Structure 1
Amino acid sequence: MKSAEEIIEILKRSFNTPSTKDEKLKVVVLCIIISTTFWFFSALNKSDYVTQINYPIKVVYNDSLYVALSEIPDKLPLEVTGGGWDLMTRSFGFSMSPLVIELDNPVRDNYRLASNLRQDIAPQLDPVSINYILKDSLIFNLDERATIDVEVVFDSTQIKLAPNRKVTSSILVEPNRLIISGPKSMLDTIKRPIIISAGDSEFSKNVDQKFSIENFGTDLISTNIEEITVKFEVTELVRREVELPINPINFKNTNNSFEPNRVVVSYDILVNETRSVDSLNLVLSADYAKLKKGDNTIPIRIAKQPSFIENLELSAIEVNLKDND
């Protein structure tokens, strides 16, 4: 193997010997590499360097009982003094066994003072010495892992129907129970029951549709199902009319009458409804006791109305009293 003096002599001859421009450039680069290498290894032999390193931390807890709400610390920053070789190996994480911190009840025992960890770390770094620990403490943000069973309902108040449509059945939700798992503190804030909304959907016919379960805004909460099925019937309403008489009440004077004595009744009814509206199940009346003296009018009252009609309107809302004397 050639000595350093021989290598330098060869380099000198290379510069003195006529050569191309590219060959001289190669020699210059080689000189830079060699000098840098000499400087690097010389620097590593010094013993009074000060630098910062991260010492590895391993936190052990029962993850079937507890869940981390934020990232668990996995390193502790230190300012250290030592030789170049020792600092280089530790800067790359070599020769450092992780400091194991066991947490039996991390909800209650949720921190470690950094100063109390020094005695455990120092022997692992020898011959590198610790100047300062650059963090006051290690915080472990964990919570109990919990599970709740809640009811799922569909928000019927927010159902948007196409014109002249009506929900004509109970609303079926399958499944109607939801199992939610996650940090106890987060589960305690969940409103119950879980309400599923149809959003901007508009329905014109029977519904048999899947709706997604919300993700509660965090990956820490999970559910046993991702969607539910909602079923209910939607039926068309049709507008119909019928002319009906107005029944007089408390008219003791037979000479008194009123007009109109019949009105047109408009109403909505389900398209599949077979029952009809007549004077037997829809009764209108004008009560003389309700006479308005100022204008001789009596309001028309709906005395009886069938349950299968809705949105009822009258062509007149009052009658005018007539004296036939």
Structure 2
Amino acid sequence: MAQLPVSSKPARSRTLILSLVAATIIWLFNELNKDGYTLRVPYPVKISYNDSLYISIHPLPRSANAIIKGSGWTLLRKSIAFTVPPVTYVIENPLATNSINTSALAAAMNEQVKDVDITHVELDKNRVDFEERVVKTSILKVDSLGLNLFPKFVVSSLINLRPNKVTFEGPASLVNDIADTLIVKVPAKKIRGNYDEELPIRYPQSPLLKTSAERVFVSFEVAEFLGTPPPPPQPKEQEPVKKATTKKASKGKKKK
């Protein structure tokens, strides 16, 4: 039996490998030309509402998982680089809205992307919570009765505050709980000299709350009282109350 030359075996192996590669490429091209493939991609989202009147209590979603359907070639391109501008989802009445309609969101995505079909949209959290945006101004006042002065020292000037009021802006549930007058406490002990310090304004801390000032400058003058303070006025003794007397009118005699 005649044997093939040894040099012809590698040639046959190369031919077989090339044939398999060519068949794979042809099969892959045929598959990519077909429709009906699906792919999950992150899709940027922008929630639009009147933020001058309302405020969101919780962070709003910035992206959603979109299930797109299309041909193999199209989805291959999308899987390599899927870049689209954020789709805008409008909330007309925030106080009456508590969730995002994913069907409406998918419809908005389909209006934006024409070469694929958005079949489904998934959100990590589709719950939303809005409140009315409220602005309030509170007056600042120093706790003068709580000042800790050195013995025989008194405040000898007006107590100045800069600023003397502060404005808050945020959700109604937070702003409405802030008092109309905020008390500023001076922490210094045994004050015997003129006071001029910057102190924090105490109010409920929240990332949703904006304020016109976080600190206030407090200044006043202090002097030593050299004289003897006058004794407190003594209460006057009340005089005994005289009983009121009434005169009875004399009755006239009847004429005969």
Q: Aligning the two structures, in what range does the TM-score lie when normalised by the shorter sequence?
A: 0.5 to 0.7
Q: 1:196, CA displacement in angstroms?
A: 1.5
Counterpart-to-counterpart distance in 2, 1:203 and 1:44: 89
Classify 1:146/1:93 alpha carbon distance in 2 versus 1 (closer, same or farther; 3 Å). farther
Which has the larger share of strand? 1
Residue 186 of structure 1 pairs with residue 111 of structure 2 = no
Classify 1:44/1:146 alpha carbon distance in 2 versus 1 (closer, same or farther; 3 Å). farther
Q: 1:153, CA displacement in angstroms?
A: 0.9
After the TM superposition, which residues 168-179 of structure 1 pair with which residues of structure 2 at under 5 Å, given as runs? 171-179=159-167
Specify the SS of the correspondent of 1:112: coil
Counterpart-to-counterpart distance in 1, 2:115 and 2:71: 8
Counterpart-to-counterpart distance in 1, 2:169 and 2:69: 48
Report the AA paired with residue 90 of structure 2: E
Q: Which residue does the alignment assign to 2:244?
A: none
Contact 1:44-1:85 at 8 Å conserved across structures? no
After the TM superposition, which residues 6-25 of structure 1 pair with which residues of structure 2 at under 5 Å, given as runs? none
Using CA pairs below 8 Å that are at least 6 residues apart, which structure has the higher relative contact order? 2
Q: Which residue does the alignment assign to 1:77?
A: 65
Contact 1:114-1:137 at 8 Å conserved across structures? no
Q: Which residue does the alignment assign to 2:144?
A: 156
Long gaps (5+) in structure 2: 1-10, 15-20, 234-256
Classify 1:307/1:73 alpha carbon distance in 2 versus 1 (closer, same or farther; 3 Å). same
Counterpart-to-counterpart distance in 2, 1:190 and 1:116: 39
Q: 1:60, CA displacement in angstroms?
A: 2.0
Please tell me whether Structure 1 or Structure 2 has the larger radius of gyration of its CA atoms: 1
Specify the SS of the correspondent of 1:104: coil
Classify 1:93/1:179 alpha carbon distance in 2 versus 1 (closer, same or farther; 3 Å). same
Q: C-alpha deviations, 1:259-310, integer Å up to 9, x for none?
A: xxxxxxxxxxx22x2xx69xxxxxxxxxxxxxxxxxxxxxxxxxxx6249xx
Counterpart-to-counterpart distance in 2, 1:110 and 1:153: 40
Q: Which residue does the alignment assign to 2:240?
A: none
Long gaps (5+) in structure 1: 1-8, 13-34, 237-269, 278-304, 309-325
Q: C-alpha deviations, 1:214-270, integer Å up to 9, x for none?
A: 57423432333444332333334xxxxxxxxxxxxxxxxxxxxxxxxxxxxxxxxx2
Q: 1:186, CA displacement in angstroms?
A: 1.7
- Match of residue 306, structure 1, among 199, 206, 231: 231
Contact 1:115-1:136 at 8 Å conserved across structures? no
Specify the SS of the correspondent of 1:203: coil
Report the AA paired with residue 193 of structure 2: K
After the TM superposition, which residues 135-150 of structure 1 pair with which residues of structure 2 at under 5 Å, given as runs? 135=123, 138-150=126-138
Report the AA paired with residue 93 of structure 1: F
Specify the SS of the correspondent of 1:139: coil
Specify the SS of the correspondent of 2:199: strand
Classify 1:88/1:198 alpha carbon distance in 2 versus 1 (closer, same or farther; 3 Å). farther
Q: 1:152, CA displacement in angstroms?
A: 0.8
Q: 1:154, CA displacement in angstroms?
A: 1.2
Contact 2:106-2:120 at 8 Å conserved across structures? no
Compare 189-198 and 216-225 and name the one that shifted more.
Answer: 216-225
- Match of residue 195, structure 2, among 182, 200, 207: 207
- Match of residue 42, structure 2, among 37, 45, 54: 54
Q: Which residue does the alignment assign to 1:222?
A: 210
Contact 2:44-2:63 at 8 Å conserved across structures? yes
Give identity over the alignment, percent: 26
Q: 1:202, CA displacement in angstroms?
A: 5.1
Classify 1:84/1:157 alpha carbon distance in 2 versus 1 (closer, same or farther; 3 Å). farther
Specify the SS of the correspondent of 2:217: strand
Q: C-alpha deviations, 1:138-183, integer Å up to 9, x for none?
A: 3343332221121111123443334554445553434422222222
Contact 2:89-2:105 at 8 Å conserved across structures? no
Contact 1:143-1:183 at 8 Å conserved across structures? yes
Specify the SS of the correspondent of 1:138: coil
Q: C-alpha deviations, 1:40-60, integer Å up to 9, x for none?
A: xx5996356544212232222
Counterpart-to-counterpart distance in 1, 2:75 and 2:147: 68
- Match of residue 82, structure 2, among 78, 90, 93: 93
Specify the SS of the correspondent of 2:64: strand
Classify 1:144/1:98 alpha carbon distance in 2 versus 1 (closer, same or farther; 3 Å). same
Counterpart-to-counterpart distance in 1, 2:30 and 2:164: 69
Q: TM-score, normalised by structure 1?
A: 0.50
Q: Which residue does the alignment assign to 1:234?
A: 222
Classify 1:85/1:230 alpha carbon distance in 2 versus 1 (closer, same or farther; 3 Å). same
